[in-house]
Structure formats: C-alpha cells, structure tokens
C-alpha cells in the first residue's frame, strides 16, 4: 500500500489504478454564474462591467492591468447582479462578477482577423485575447496562454501529460476534440515550419494507442516514456525531451488547450468550457465533465451525484490543493477534481524522517527534500533558498513516496510563499 499527501496534508491510502474515461458529461450552466477575476497566479483583472449591465456571451467582464493577464469572458448572456468579493475554492478572497444567466446565450460578435497575415506581436495578442489559462508552469501556477508562444523555435513540445492516478483525461483530445486538435497541429506547423514537433503523452496504453492513431501522417513524434513520470513544469519537460532546460529553442504548448487555440485563431471562436476529470469514491458518476466557465463547484457535485465527501482535492492528486469552499467558481485550468471518502484518506500521522533518501531519489530537480523540510521547520528560509529550495517545481513526488508521510510539498509551498 502506498501513501501520499497533497497540499494541506490530505493523505490517500490507496494507489488507485488509473481508469480511462471517454464519456463526456455535460453540466448545464446554472442561473447564477460566478466569474472569478483572479484566474492567474498572483495576478488579477479589474471589472469592465458594472451592476445592472446586460452582458452577452463573449463579452469581457474583467481585464488585466498588466500585459500578461488574460481577459475574463462571460460564457452566458444575462445581467450583472453584483461585483463583490468571495472565497475561492482554496479559501483565498477573490473579486468576482455575479451574472444572472438568462439562458438565451446571445453572443457578442467578435472582430474578424486573419492569423496568416499577422506579425508575431499581433498573433501573441490574439492568443492572449482567447482568455486561456495554462497550468504547466510550476504545477499550480496558472498563467495566461500567450506567453508560451515564441517567435522562433527549433522544437515544439505538446505536453499532454497529467498525473493520471485517478484516471486519464487525455482521451478527449484524440476522441472528442480530435478534429480541432489536428487543426491545432496544422497551425503549429504554419507558425514553426522548421521545428520538430513532439507530443508527450502518459505511458497509459490507451493514450499511446489513441495518440499513435491520431498522429499518423502528421509528422509529429510521440514520446510516452521519460525518466520522470509526470511533467507539470515546462522547463523540466523541455530538458528531458530536448535537453534544452533554458527553453532557448523550445516552445512547450499545453496540449489540452491546443484545440481551443485552433478554434480561436482559425475560426475566431472563443472556448468558454473546460473539460475535467471528476472522480473519487464519493462520486456516483465519475467521468470527464464539460463545464462552462462561471459554474460553481456545487453545481458539478450535484450533477455527478457526490455524497458526503471527506476531502475534495482540486488539481491532480500528487500536487493538488484541498478544497475549502464548494460554492466557489471552478477556475479555468483545473483539469481534475477528486471527491474522496474517508476510507480513501489515511489517518496515519506524519512521523519522524527516517533518512531513507527516497524523496531525493524521485526529485526531478535533484533536490534533497528531507534537508529542505528540516530548514523550513526551523524557519530558516535563507538556507532553504541557498539549498535551491526555490527550484522546487511542486510536483509532489517526494511526499508521494515518503514512508513517514512527511508533508514535504506543503512545506515547500509555504516556504516559497514566505519568500514572496
């Protein structure tokens, strides 16, 4: 039996064999939509609407003051009821726009453009305007998508790896969103005509078969086995696939967002939904859920028949976060939510480190987590950084393998917040 912990000290006693899901469950948008203006790590938008305004699908509700913040769009038509502050899934206070959905889904027309004639700067801005959030820069640090795209690259890496411990979510890329995924590959070939394009999938047999079939005749190389198992961090993925840690010549694209980029640039269509895995023993109907942005978690819970969860984890089980509030909006970029029963969560307590070194063996950054943890416990944050603690990519592997259930990941997340 393996034990592992996630942020806020959730331990899960069972290693669950990954299930493969391809059924998509559509969640009807509720009457009361809640749009968070803080979708990106440490960055927020300011509202561009006011109470009483009628808004349409595609209308911007909030925009960033800084160029790296992507806009927040309305996914429904309706009336702005309030602009207020609310607690988000993880217990942080965020500004939100509350919209009463009139269920007419009237759309705001968008200006047309031709991406083929755009210069790089205009193209990057068009990608930013798609409002997409990617999560592959340091596991939970969500950022706006435009930053992934560089003007020139020798290598393009499409990262389709997810933790997969509670089920693979990549099936929708080669099943449901197949056509737009292939159009996305055509787009990448247009943007980077000289580059080698590689797709990084999990080693799951269904995924390898699905992607092999999808990529035939595209010239895209498939890689599914690498020294470390899951790539939440793009620098790490770039290092292990192309030996280019500084990402000088490499562009890493979040494969899960590629179909939305294709629709956005080739058809000028925004994607207002996200697809995410809903699983755990408290869920009556596990599967991949299609959820409109602005939907709160309790709406998804009702649809999935969630009863009496003991713990809820947003994000993958290795590095996700314990959920604090369920009437909060699901941030864009979350691709997995687990509802765990008490029997799935270990009651075993953290005990002393036995200096077995397993955490150091699995750390993809070559860190010594047991030493770093001791420094954090002593609140010696200076030494934490001198010992490269700031390089931790928050993958959670050290906590996962630790036989003493040390809360290593939690400790490093805390230390990095103190420094900031």
Least distance in angstroms from the C-beta of 365 to ligand SF4? 5
Stretch in the footprint of ligand SF4 (CB under 6 A) among 113-121, 204-212, 339-347, 360-368? 360-368
Q: Does 413 engage in binding with ligand SF4 (CB under 6 A)?
A: no
Query: Does the footprint of ligand SF4 cover residue 376 (CB under 6 A)?
Result: no
Q: How far is the CB of 163 from ligand SF4 (least distance, A)?
A: 12
By CB under 6 A, is residue 394 in contact with ligand SF4?
yes
Which residues make Cβ contacts (< 8 Å) with residue 328, sequence separation at least 6?
34, 36, 86, 87, 88, 89, 296, 297
Q: Which two tokens stand for residue 8?
A: 């806020």
Please name which of 157, 156, 231 lies closest in space to residue 193, comparing C-alpha atoms: 156
315 binds ligand SF4 (CB under 6 A): no
Pairing type for strands 287-292 and 273-279 reads antiparallel
Q: How near is the Cβ of 144 to ligand SF4 at its closest, in Å?
A: 24
Segment interacting with ligand SF4 (CB under 6 A) among 116-124, 262-270, 327-335, 351-359:
351-359
Instruction: Please provide the distance, in angstroms rounded to a whole number, between the alpha carbons at the two ends of the chain.
Output: 37
Interatomic CA distance for residues 48 and 298, integer angstroms: 27
Interface residue with ligand SF4 among 70, 313, 367, 415 (CB under 6 A) is: 367
CB 254 within 8 A of CB 231: no
Q: Does 370 bind ligand SF4 (CB under 6 A)?
A: yes
Q: Is 140 in the site for ligand SF4 (CB under 6 A)?
A: no
Q: Which of 365, 380, 383, 385 binds ligand SF4 (CB under 6 A)?
A: 365
Binds ligand SF4 by CB under 6 A, chosen from 91, 243, 305, 357: 357
Identity of the residue, 72 or 367, whose beta carbon is nearer to ligand SF4 in the bound complex: 367
- Decide: is 359 part of the binding site for ligand SF4 (CB under 6 A): yes
Told to check if 6 binds ligand SF4 by CB under 6 A, we report no
CA–CA dist 160, 169 (Å, integer): 9
Q: Report the candidate in 41, 291, 294, 272 with the shortest Cα–Cα distance to residue 147.
A: 41
Return d(Cα 322, Cα 10) in angstroms, integer.
Answer: 7
Q: How far apart are CA 215 and CA 230, in angstroms?
A: 21
Binding site for ligand SF4 (CB under 6 A): 353-359, 362-365, 367, 369-370, 392-398, 401-404, 406, 408-409, 412
């Amino acid at each position: 039996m393996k034990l592992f912990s996630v942020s806020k000290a959730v331990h899960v006693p069972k290693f669950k064999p990954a299930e493969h899901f391809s059924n998509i469950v559509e969640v009807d948008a509720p009457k009361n939509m809640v749009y968070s203006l803080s979708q990106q790590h440490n960055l927020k938008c300011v509202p561009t609407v006011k109470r009483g305004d009628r808004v349409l699908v595609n209308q911007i509700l909030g925009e960033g003051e800084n160029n790296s913040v992507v806009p927040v769009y309305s996914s429904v038509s309706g009336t702005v009821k309030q602009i207020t502050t609310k607690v988000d899934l993880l217990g942080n206070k965020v500004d939100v726009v509350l919209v009463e959905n009139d269920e007419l889904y009237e759309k705001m027309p968008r200006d047309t453009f031709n991406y083929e004639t755009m210069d790089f700067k205009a193209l990057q801005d068009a990608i930013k305007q798609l409002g997409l959030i990617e999560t592959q820069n340091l596991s939970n640090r969500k950022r706006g998508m435009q930053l992934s795209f560089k003007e020139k690259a020798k290598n393009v890496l499409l990262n389709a790896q997810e933790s997969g411990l509670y089920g693979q979510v990549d099936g929708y890329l080669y099943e449901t969103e197949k056509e737009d995924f292939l159009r996305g590959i055509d787009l990448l070939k247009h943007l980077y005509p000289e580059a080698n394009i590689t797709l990084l999938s999990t080693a799951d047999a269904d995924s390898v078969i699905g992607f092999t079939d999808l990529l035939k005749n595209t010239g895209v190389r498939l890689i599914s086995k690498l020294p470390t198992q899951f790539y939440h961090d793009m620098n790490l993925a770039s290092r292990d696939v192309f030996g280019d840690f500084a990402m000088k010549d490499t562009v890493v694209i979040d494969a899960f967002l590629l179909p939305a980029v294709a629709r956005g640039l080739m058809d000028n269509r925004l994607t207002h939904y996200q697809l995410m895995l809903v699983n755990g023993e408290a869920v009556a109907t596990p599967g991949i859920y299609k959820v409109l942005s602005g939907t709160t978690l309790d709406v998804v819970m009702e649809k999935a028949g969630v009863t009496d969860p003991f713990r809820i984890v947003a994000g993958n089980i290795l590095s996700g976060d314990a959920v604090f509030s369920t009437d909060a909006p699901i941030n864009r970029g979350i691709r997995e939510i687990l509802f765990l029963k008490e029997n799935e969560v270990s009651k075993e307590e953290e005990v002393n480190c036995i200096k077995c070194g397993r955490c150091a063996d699995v750390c993809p950054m070559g860190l010594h987590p047991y030493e770093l943890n001791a420094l954090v416990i002593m609140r010696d944050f200076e030494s934490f950084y001198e010992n490269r603690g700031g390089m931790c990519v928050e993958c959670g592997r050290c906590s996962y393998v630790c036989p003493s259930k040390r809360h290593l990941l939690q400790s490093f997340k805390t230390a990095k917040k103190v420094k900031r």
